[in-house]
Amino acid sequence: MTTTGLFLTREPDVVKSALIEKFSLHLTCILAAACTDKSARELEKLVWAVLLDVGRMLLAAVLECRACRATEVDLAQRGLRPHHVTQRVDGHYCCQMTTTLGTICFALAAYRERTGHGTKTRVPARKLFPSYPKCRSSELCLEWESHLGSMHPFRTAERELNVFTHGAVKLEDTTIASHTVAVGLKVSRKWLYRDPNKIRELLSDRAMRDPKTGRPVVYVSCDAHSLRRFVDDTWNAQWKMANGLRIWCVDSRTGDIIHLGGEFTWGNCEQVESIVRCLIESGHLPVGGDYGEGVVAQVVWVTDGMPWIEQYLLKLFPTAVPILDAFHVIERLARFAATVYGRGKPEAQRWYQQAYEAAFGASKLPKTKPKTRSGHRKKKGSTTTKFACNRVKQMSRPRNATTRAEPLLSLLEGMALSAEHESARDAIIRYIKNNAYRMDYATYIQHGYQIGSGAMESLHPVASQHRLKRSGPGWRPEAAQAIFNLRMLNLVDRWHEFWCHSDLDLTLETAFRAA
């Protein structure tokens, strides 16, 4: 592949004339083909081929002009004239790059300078392409690769990229994989959350508010799910828990979830605590909910009953309202009823009705088997109850507050059970007592808090499982983390902002130097 050589003229009018002449030749061929018996499909493919060819020529000429301008600036800074140096146009000083229009090659306008110690070749234009030659994709092509690689298996991304570019781009799936991982690992935490100023604006204008205090409500949740991870340098992929964190609020006009940010990590509970502390320091999740300029939100934690959540996370937010995910309570009650009375037995259903009313203060048992839609089948046991999501007043949470779960505990303790079921009752009583301080569901429902972590659970499929939880593959930690970051970057609606920020060149240069 040869360069256009247009930079030698450094005259825009000359470059323009050359491009018009070449396009004119293509145009003649297209109009001639229109007079033949070619089908509409063949003519459309011909037009695309011409447009891509002209586009490659135009892009190569433009980049050569940019390279020439960089050389002229460098010469001026050094006090040199063009006739004082020798231009280098051989292959060593040309750039071959894959773009969204296909592969192009253009001269870098290098020059050889005579010094007191001999000669030295300088290439000022290399600063325009900081990640080249470690990455031979243009920034736009790299963005397309990263997007497709984070959404599809890499082999599918390879095919899709070829289709989107009408066959102009042909990159191997391994290349797309390495590029995706290199970029994804450079998506820092600040890009995975909305800017604190934007969060403040959303809370002020759109978030649901506490009717008693007028404070907007911010929800936080943490949950984990398992993925296959490549471990011990073997292909014996094992299941590993990936911890997810999400911050959201509820749109007061539509009731929809407004995603404020989140991320996934392979780290343990200490790593999750470290992440939350970073969010506190950065202003994304203030302890007291104070986002500045008079916007003070009520922080609500909706999580499961894992002991580490209280030990590592809830302790950081003394004024937050902690809520035990209602679905986990319902699930435990149903499991206990099935253990004692038998699955599906009338006695189990009656006891579950009593337990539900004792826990939630409801007079009507939620449907356990909702009507399924045509063409849709729910997995057994996957039903969750939908609760209103408005607001509630701030509450204190003494650690030993068992009065909120007293009706449910009284029901359990008053049961006459055989010895074989005593251990099951002891386990569920211990679970309820440990989490009683965040089980005041009657008040939560009355005032409108979300009492289920559905917003967190629904994040798993779209943020990680849809891409990573496939049969067969075992993920290396760094590759999975890159996919996590890219998908969460897209979900928080900052993808375009990331690829247009002023330090992108430095970010990509650092990414591919490390890779």
Residue 210 has pLDDT above 90, yes or no: no
pLDDT in tens, 474-486: 888 999 999 999 9
Q: In this structure, are 208 and 267 located in the same domain?
A: yes
pLDDT in tens, 269-300: 999 999 999 999 999 999 999 999 999 999 99
Residue 252 counted as domain residue: yes
> In total, how many domains does the chain have?
4
Q: By 3-state DSSP, what share of the chain in percent is helix, strand and coil, each rounded to 5?
A: 50, 15, 35
Residue 471 counted as domain residue: no
Residue 365 has pLDDT above 60, yes or no: no
> Average pLDDT, whole number, for the chain?
86
Q: In this structure, are 183 and 99 located in the same domain?
A: no
Question: What number of CA atoms fall less than 13 Å from residue 415's CA on the CB side?
Answer: 26
Q: In this structure, are 60 and 81 located in the same domain?
A: yes
Which pLDDT score is estimated for 184? 97
Residue 213 has pLDDT above 70, yes or no: yes
222, β-bridge pairs:
245
Residue 313 counted as domain residue: yes
Q: In this structure, are 315 and 248 located in the same domain?
A: yes
Which pLDDT score is estimated for 442? 82
Residue 373 counted as domain residue: no
Q: In this structure, are 289 and 348 located in the same domain?
A: no
Q: In this structure, are 384 and 330 located in the same domain?
A: yes
Which pLDDT score is estimated for 81? 79
HEC profile of 258-320: EEEEEEEECCCHHHHHHHHHHHHHHCCCCCCCECCCCCECEEEEEECCCHHHHHHCHHHCCCC
Q: In this structure, are 335 and 399 located in the same domain?
A: yes
Which pLDDT score is estimated for 379? 45
| pLDDT confidence bin for 21, thresholds 50/70/90 | confident
Compare 27 and 374 and report the one with higher pLDDT. Answer: 27
Q: In this structure, are 307 and 332 located in the same domain?
A: no
Residue 462 counted as domain residue: no
Share of the chain above pLDDT 90, in %: 61
Q: In this structure, are 14 and 105 located in the same domain?
A: yes
pLDDT in tens, 233-261: 666 778 889 999 999 999 999 999 999 99
Q: In this structure, are 125 and 142 located in the same domain?
A: no
Q: Which of 129, 153, 171 is the last residue of a domain?
A: 129
Distance CA 279, CA 429 (A): 35
Judge whether 308 and 289 are in contact, CB under 8 Å.
Answer: no
Q: Residue 236 burial by CB count (10 A; 0-12/13-18/19+): exposed, middle or buried?
A: exposed
Which pLDDT score is estimated for 447? 76
Q: What is the DSSP code string of 74-86? A: HHHHHT--GGGSE
Which pLDDT score is estimated for 235? 62
Residue 291 counted as domain residue: yes
Residue 381 has pLDDT above 50, yes or no: no
Task: List all residues 6 or more positions away from 461 whose beta carbon is below 8 Å from its beta carbon.
Answer: none
Q: Which of 457, 486, 501 is the last residue of a domain?
A: 457
CATH code of the domain in which 253 resides: 3.30.420.40
Mean pLDDT of 201-230: 90
pLDDT in tens, 90-127: 778 899 999 999 999 998 989 888 776 778 889 999 99
Which pLDDT score is estimated for 401? 59
| pLDDT confidence bin for 88, thresholds 50/70/90 | confident
**Strand, helix or coil for residue 369:** coil
Mean pLDDT of 355-375: 62
Which pLDDT score is estimated for 404? 79
Q: In this structure, are 309 and 351 located in the same domain?
A: no
Q: Which of 80, 98, 129 is the last residue of a domain?
A: 129
Q: What is the DSSP code string of 427-471? A: HHHHHHHHTGGG--HHHHHHHT---S-HHHHTHHIIIIIHHH--S
Residue numbers of the domain that contains 12: 1-129
| pLDDT confidence bin for 229, thresholds 50/70/90 | confident
Distance CA 298, CA 210 (A): 8
Instruction: Give the count of beta carbons closer than 10 Å to the beta carbon of residue 277.
Output: 14
Residue 400 has pLDDT above 90, yes or no: no
| pLDDT confidence bin for 382, thresholds 50/70/90 | very low
Ranges 9-18, 159-168, 396-405, 422-431: which has the least confidence: 396-405
Residue 307 counted as domain residue: yes
Q: What are phi and psi of 346, to 5 degrees?
A: -60, -35
Residue 4, both tokens: 């256009």
Mean pLDDT of 454-467: 92
Q: In this structure, are 172 and 213 located in the same domain?
A: no
Longest dimension (CA), the chain: 103
**Strand, helix or coil for residue 387:** coil
Residue 437 counted as domain residue: yes
Asked, as a colleague might, if the bond just before 133 is cis with ω within 30 of 0, I would say: yes
Residue 387 has pLDDT above 60, yes or no: no
Mean pLDDT of 329-338: 94
Compare 400 and 353 and report the one with higher pLDDT. Answer: 353
Give the pairing of strands 238-250 and 257-265: antiparallel
